[in-house]
Structure 1
Amino acid sequence: MPSLIFDLDGTLADSRQCILDSVRYAFDRIGFAKITFDSVRVTQQDLRKSYEETMEQNQIPFNDEELNQFITEYRWYHEHEGEAGLSLYEGVLETLDQLRPNFGLAVATTKHSMQALRVLNKLKIDHYFDHIQGTDPGMRYKPEPDILLHTLSALRRPSEKSAYVGDSIHDMHAAASMGMRRIGAAYGFAGDSQLIDHGPDWLIYDFRDLTGISYEILDRLNQSFAEGQRRLNSQ
């Protein structure tokens, strides 16, 4: 059975405000309440990179101790305050119901695995997924493909028979490096302009669009897998 693997933030869940509020809180707690940051970029990359870029842009010296405090404060606020405002994008529940008979479903996210599981449980959709993979200690963040490699291994699925649904260029790069089909979520944080430039196989403007193209995705994934098998057999 082919697999559909989903990013979490900006793809399944509208967590933009939660992320922005958590970033503001964390900077406030480490003494930079008035600092300015790129509200698009902080929703699309890992915390370390967001912190370092913001400090550099504001020409403020920084160190690892302060970074670790920033991450701790961010995660505290995210869990205890921010997640109360999380919501699913429209149509997620019914679309997952319709996809599940034909696809193995999984999540691969920048969040740590336990955090991702907690969020999906709060949103009441954790039971849809055969595997939930976060970027755990020792793993590299997207655009490196570590989370997709671990997810495919857990699912025991070949990359040729899998597609990744995500809203950022990092998602597209990670999937491409694994030889996976790419589905750009243009309704997410980045919009369609960046995604179009990075060549997704499909671009969707509403989560429910997946239902309309599901058979096309199935056909394309099955074709990719068959072509891969033929290449192996010819060697």
Structure 2
Amino acid sequence: MTSAIVFDIDGTLANTPAVIAELIADVVHGLGASPSRAQVLATVGKPLEASLARLLGVSVDSAATAEAAARYRARFATDVLSQGPALLLPGVPEGLDDLRAAGHLLGIATSKISSSALALLEATGILGRFDTVVCHDMVERGKPHPDMALRALADLGAPAAASWYVGDTVTDMAMARGAALRTVGVSYGVDSAEDLVAAGADHVVADFPSVIRALLHGTADTVRDLAGTRPEPTGALT
């Protein structure tokens, strides 16, 4: 049976939440808003325009939101992409290679728009490891709705029962569960282990090598292991 593993990017494969949050904060500060750090961090991994509008206290289709998005995207290359492979979390390239060597198809489902996602994957040197990249602007409804995960599974020709989603937020877990995917939550990104557990993650792990051990062997150094709580088997992929 064909199996797929679909990943989030920010906070899961790339250590980008802090630099993205800093960029978002600088952009909205420049337009007169003063959100707290917690409010800014809560927007990482969510659709950009909606997040900027919320921080600015305006509507998503306002001129201020459009200006903020333009400023953010103009600086994304210099502030984020310029860091290249250094943005990747430890063990990511090797772990992805191990999954591919084991015969698993790999995909991305991210709240980034296509141009930003592809640019980040290219800058970090891992774009070629993925068989499909599904972005917010490619589906009718973004996270937490299951549309992106379902699109990725369709692209890969893989059933949900044989596949997994790996992400760092409760919206990642909600999307994956809506698509009937099993899940690995990572506690080193945006949301806490407790939040990921509450969102129904099958496994919650503290580093990327543990993601790979959980997927390939059904074991990992877990923050909290929820194996056996889902109707589908939660051991190693077959």
Q: Determine if the TM-score, normalized by the shorter chain, exceeds 0.5.
A: yes
What pairs up with 1:180-195 in 2 under 5 angstroms? 180-195=181-196
CA contact (8 A) 1:166 1:185 kept: yes
Q: 1:99 corresponds to which residue?
A: 99
On the 8 A contact 1:168/1:190 being kept in 2, the answer is yes
What is the percent sequence identity of the aligned residues?
27
Q: Which residue of 1 aligns with 2:76?
A: 78
Q: Is the 8 A contact 1:55 1:62 kept in 2?
A: no
Mapped contact 1:18–1:83 kept (Cα < 8 A): no
Contact between 1:172 and 1:200, CA under 8 Å: does it hold in 2? yes
**Structure 1, unpaired ranges of 5+:** 226-235
Post-superposition offset of 1:168 = 0.1
Counterpart for residue 52 of structure 1 = 53
Distance 1:89 1:175 in 2: 22
Q: CA deviation at 1:62?
A: 8.0
Q: CA deviation at 1:61?
A: 8.0
Q: Give deviations 1:177-223, integer Å, cap 9, x for gaps.
A: 11110110111122312101112111111100123221339xx9xx9
The residue correspondences of 1:85-234 to structure 2 (distance < 5 A) are 85=83, 87-102=87-102, 103-136=104-137, 139-213=140-214, 214-216=216-218, 224=232
Amino acid at match of 1:82: V
Higher relative contact order (CA 8 A, sep 6+): 1
Task: Classify 1:186/1:61 alpha carbon distance in 2 versus 1 (closer, same or farther; 3 Å).
Answer: closer
Residues in 1 aligned to 2:51 and 2:23: alpha-carbon distance in whole angstroms: 12
Following TM superposition, by how much is the alpha carbon of 1:224 offset from its aligned partner in structure 2, in angstroms?
4.2
CA distance in 2, matches of 1:44, 1:125: 19
Alpha carbons 1:21, 1:82 under 8 Å: kept: no
Larger mean CA deviation between 207-216 and 173-182 belongs to: 207-216
2:111, 2:136 within 8 Å by CA — same for their partners in 1? yes
Which amino acid is the alignment partner of residue 100 of structure 1? R
1:3 and 1:163 in contact (8 A); partners too: yes
C-alpha contact 1:22 1:75 (8 A) present in aligned 2: no
Name the count of aligned residue pairs.
216
Contact 2:107 2:152 in 1 (8 A): yes
Contact 1:25 1:73 in 2 (8 A): no
Shifted more, 173-182 versus 73-82: the winner is: 73-82
Q: Point out 4+ residue stretches in structure 1 off by more than 4 angstroms.
A: 60-63
SS at match of 2:166: strand
Deviation at 1:15, TM superposition (A): 0.4
Whichever residue aligns with residue 92 of structure 2, its letter is V
The reply on whether 1:27 has 2:28 as its aligned counterpart is yes
Larger Rg: 1
Secondary structure class of the residue paired with 1:111: coil
- Between 108-117 and 5-14, the greater mean CA deviation after superposition: 108-117
Give the match for residue 62 of structure 2: 64
CA contact (8 A) 1:18 1:82 kept: yes
Unaligned runs of 5+ in 2: 220-227, 234-238
1:159 shift after superposition: 1.6
Structure 1 residue 9, shift from structure 2 partner: 0.3
Shift of 1:138: 5.4
1:36 equivalent to 2:38? Answer no
SS in 2 for 1:13: coil
Q: CA RMSD in A?
A: 2.3
